[in-house]
Amino acid sequence: MRTTSPVSAWESDFDVLDPRYIADPFGIWAELRMRCPIAHTDRRGSTWLPTRYKDVTAIAHDIEHFSSLEVAVIPFDGEEPEDPVLPYGLPPISADPPLHTWTRRLLLPWFSHKRVQSYEAMTRALCTRLIDGFVDSGRADAASDYAQQIPVRVIAHILGVSPDHSDTFTGWVRDVLEFADDPERRVHGVQGLLEYFIEEVAKRRAQPGDDLLSELLQTEVDGAPIEDSLVLGAAALVLIAGVDTTWSAIGSSLWHLAKHPADRRRMAEDPDVMSLAVEELLRAYSPVTMARIVTEDVEYAGCPMKAGDKVLMNFPAANRDPEVFEDPDEVVLDRAHNRHVAFGSGIHRCAGSNLARMELRVALEEWLRRIPDFRLADEDEVTWAGGQVRGPRLLPVVFG
Ligand code: HEM
């Protein structure tokens, strides 16, 4: 990651890539909420950062003034191709209605409760296999040996692509999201994903299967097949949206449990707490921040937002707002009132939330069943990624 100059004032010069923000943004949000609930920066273009629940959700619902045509938190700083392969980006996430409406509808059935149930057995078997690989050694990297390995393989299964390429997929997705401020890596990730899916599309045309990619190719909308660029964009989105996000949620949850023995014991001993605990861990360690682009000059909560400005959909900060959550910085495993927005709010609410929840639950269940007691090997060795998706990347733990 490239280094940027130190932040002089969080309310007027924030930087989501500042190492302090990546490591521990919670205190920064708490202070901003009190002093300046919508912060601003001119780094990487004029950008606003709301920190209150009510502002984040209101902006997410105001699709007229806040468009999804530019959802990357870190703007691309390289040369744009003249004739892009993906003129619509990655719909539905990068689209406004009407394109958003029908492209979202195409994806939703793949992540329904029923479909997700059908992926559970393979997810559990995968977690078991991963744990088999390190359980006897008494140590593991809970992020890179475990959390990182799970979602990418489940998504490969849904897309009907080989799990053998999982590390390559993960590398591309990290290039796009985690190393977004490095134009070379970002282009490398996008090109890798596109070239791979262009080839896969050609294969599925010749020999269709029963996977998401094949089905998109066979779907007609208004009597015509879907444009290739939209099929490619949707397939790439499923990979990009489904990998770092869930990996980060699993990793942050294990980080929390490694540091909180009482929570660890409760989750290991009381299976009934699991579903509420999953929601609470998603709330407290929400991994995903998105962006919107202001469509026309608008004053929001006294902030003069100009057409073309960016607004960061700070769902993680909304979930720590004391106006909405009692003791927001406490993890209360059985928190009863938990209307968190880790999966967003409004028309772009996460299409894969059923899948994400299942993966997080199964990953924690299997880990705690085999490794009920574990702790960080060395706090200083833990590293975090941040920006668009926050989660631990190295998380050495010891047990046994
Ligand atoms: C813990 C894991 C996850 C989190 C926290 C998460 C979070 C989010 C958030 C906040 C949004 C809203 C984007 C916006 O408002 O611009 C979103 C959208 C989306 N997510 Fe997830 N996500 C997760 C996992 C997944 C998975 C596993 C998939 C499945 C492949 C997925 C697919 C999508 C899609 C397709 C959208 C776009 C929906 C639309 O624009 O209508 N996500 N996600």
**CA pair distance 75, 72, nearest whole angstrom:** 6
For residues 351-377, give the mean pLDDT. 98
Check pLDDT > 80 for residue 370: yes
pLDDT (tens digit, 9 = 90+) per residue, 195-204? 999 999 999 9
279 CB-side CA count, 13 A: 11
Check pLDDT > 80 for residue 77: no
Residue 181 has a pLDDT of 86
Alpha helices in the chain (DSSP H): 10-13, 19-23, 26-35, 53-61, 99-107, 113-118, 120-134, 150-159, 166-177, 183-206, 212-218, 228-242, 244-259, 261-269, 274-284, 315-318, 353-370
Could you tell me the pLDDT band of residue 78, with boundaries at 50, 70 and 90?
confident
For residues 203-231, give the mean pLDDT. 92
Q: Which atom of ligand 1 is nearest to the CA of 341?
A: 10
Question: How far does the centroid of ligand 1 lie from the alpha carbon of residue 400, in Å?
Answer: 36
For residues 123-127, give the mean pLDDT. 98
Q: Which atom of ligand 1 is nearest to the CA of 346?
A: 15
Check pLDDT > 80 for residue 9: yes
pLDDT (tens digit, 9 = 90+) per residue, 56-73? 999 999 999 999 999 999
Do β-strands 396-399 and 303-305 pair in parallel, antiparallel, or remain unpaired? Answer: unpaired
Give, for ligand 1, the residue of 107, 148, 350 to mutate: max count of ligand atoms closer than 8 Å to Cβ. Answer: 350
For residues 224-235, give the mean pLDDT. 92
Check pLDDT > 80 for residue 115: yes
Check pLDDT > 90 for residue 112: yes
Listed residue (170, 162, 161) closest to 243, CA to CA = 170
Neighbouring-strand partners of residue 140: 397
Check pLDDT > 70 for residue 216: yes
Give, for ligand 1, the residue of 238, 245, 280 to mutate: max count of ligand atoms closer than 8 Å to Cβ. Answer: 245
Residue 3 has a pLDDT of 57
Residue 160 has a pLDDT of 86
Q: Which residues line ligand 1 (CB under 6 A)?
A: 60, 68, 71, 92-93, 104, 107, 111, 155, 237-238, 241-242, 245-246, 249, 287-288, 290, 313, 315, 342-344, 348, 350-352, 355-356
Check pLDDT > 70 for residue 391: yes
Q: Which two tokens stand for residue 62?
A: 């105001």
Residue 87: enclosing H or E segment and its boundaries?
A: none
Residue 79 has a pLDDT of 76
Structural contact between residues 175 and 192, judged by C-beta atoms closer than 8 angstroms: yes
pLDDT (tens digit, 9 = 90+) per residue, 176-209? 888 888 888 988 998 999 999 999 999 999 999 9
For residues 77-96, give the mean pLDDT. 85
CB atoms near residue 215 (< 10 Å): 17
pLDDT (tens digit, 9 = 90+) per residue, 147-166? 999 999 999 999 888 888 89
- The per-residue pLDDT of the chain, averaged, comes to 94
Could you tell me the pLDDT band of residue 84, with boundaries at 50, 70 and 90?
confident
Question: Quick one: what percent of the chain has pLDDT higher than 90?
Answer: 84
pLDDT (tens digit, 9 = 90+) per residue, 252-306? 999 999 999 999 999 999 999 999 999 999 999 999 999 999 999 999 999 999 9
Residue 380 has a pLDDT of 96
Check pLDDT > 90 for residue 332: yes
Check pLDDT > 70 for residue 2: no
Check pLDDT > 90 for residue 4: no
For residues 223-238, give the mean pLDDT. 92
Question: How far does the centroid of ligand 1 lie from the alpha carbon of residue 352, in Å?
Answer: 6
For residue 86, give the 3-state DSSP assignment: coil
Q: Which atom of ligand 1 is nearest to the CA of 103?
A: 41
